[in-house]
Amino acid sequence: MRRKPTAHVLWAKVSFDNDRRKAAALSLHSGLASYPKSAVKGRFDVRILIVEDEARLAANMARSFRESAGYAVDIAREGEDGLFMAESNPYDAILLDLMLPRLDGTEVLRRLRAARQHTPVLILTARDEKESIVELLNLGADDYLTKPFDLGELLARVKALIRRGKGQASPVLTIGDLEINTVDRTVRRNQRAVVLTAMEYRVLEYLAHRPRAVVSKTELLEHLYDYNWEKFSNVIEVYISGLRRKLNKDAPTALIHTYRGQGYVLEP
């Protein structure tokens, strides 16, 4: 016959959980536990939280954000720890898995929004049912990705969330007469719908987040294909050609310009 835990045991467990979370918060504030050295020196101006219990996936995402975007990244592998960290630290974005131990992602999201915590949240989910997605968006999620996902797309979406969180609230990117809706992934030019392939859209959105800046072919490849981009080195010209053909149709000016030996620029 199992004995009920004594008051001392219950107190010890609560004390242990609280001490663990306090230690996690202290290590995060110190900047030494989960930040690269450059973050300690103040080079990072973006900090994100990944709440994901799959250790390998969490590590791969964190490495991608640190190396490709230069972000500071913290990781929580349980829902309660993720909620505590999200409430204790000023994050620019939170990546939140749904199937978490101790407290599921839906409840974490609900409590964050109930506490008037407005940090942008991107949901990572294995569910793709329309009803589930609608529920999450109504609870306050800003975006979602269905597993398995491409790391390049994840990076682009988080960057878009952070930009909107810093003042660009509209999901529509506007460059001249070009409009890109980053929620439903539709494109219009001069009020005319432009139908793009999935890869063409990703190239265009990436350029649109860097208007008037030169984006190299290598940067585009790394965005599209993450660490396996070398074998796709000849496809960028194909996507750019397709974009130009579709965007320039019935338009007075070109939008995508080539700087020989440097890369591409999106500007009206």
Dist. CA 195–CA 197, nearest whole Å: 7
What pLDDT does 224 receive? Answer: 66
**Torsion region of 42: left, alpha or beta (phi above 0 gives left; psi -120 to 50 gives alpha):** left
CB 48 within 8 A of CB 93: yes
Summarised one tens digit per residue, pLDDT across range 211-253 is: 888 988 888 876 666 445 555 667 889 999 999 999 998 888 9
Mapped onto helix, strand or coil, the DSSP state of residue 62 is helix
Cα dihedral 100, 120, 38, 150, rounded to 10, equals 60
Tell me: domain 7-165, CATH 3.90.950.20, correct?
no
The pLDDT mean for the chain works out to 79
122 DSSP β-pair partners:
95, 143
**pLDDT for position 32:** 32
26: left (phi over 0), alpha (psi -120 to 50) or beta: alpha
Question: What is the rounded distance in angstroms from the CA atom of residue 162 to the CA atom of residue 246?
Answer: 29
What are the residue boundaries of the structural domains of the chain, listed by start?
7-165, 172-266
Q: What is the pLDDT of residues 183-214, one digit of tens each?
A: 678 999 999 999 999 889 888 988 887 888 89
pLDDT in tens, 103-154: 999 999 999 999 988 899 999 988 766 777 888 888 889 998 888 888 888 9
Packing angle, helices 55-64 and 151-165, rounded to 10: 60
Q: What is the mean pLDDT of residues 95-101?
A: 94
In the prediction, which pLDDT does 54 show?
93
259 pLDDT higher than 50: yes
How many Å apart are CA 3 and CA 5, to the nearest integer? 6
Residue ranges in the chain assigned as alpha helix (H)? 7-30, 37-40, 55-64, 79-88, 105-114, 130-139, 151-165, 198-208, 217-225, 236-247
Task: Give residue 35's pLDDT.
Answer: 38
Residue 28 has pLDDT above 60, yes or no: no
Q: Classify domain 172-266 by CATH number.
A: 1.10.10.10
User: What pTM, to 2 d.p., does this model score?
Assistant: 0.52
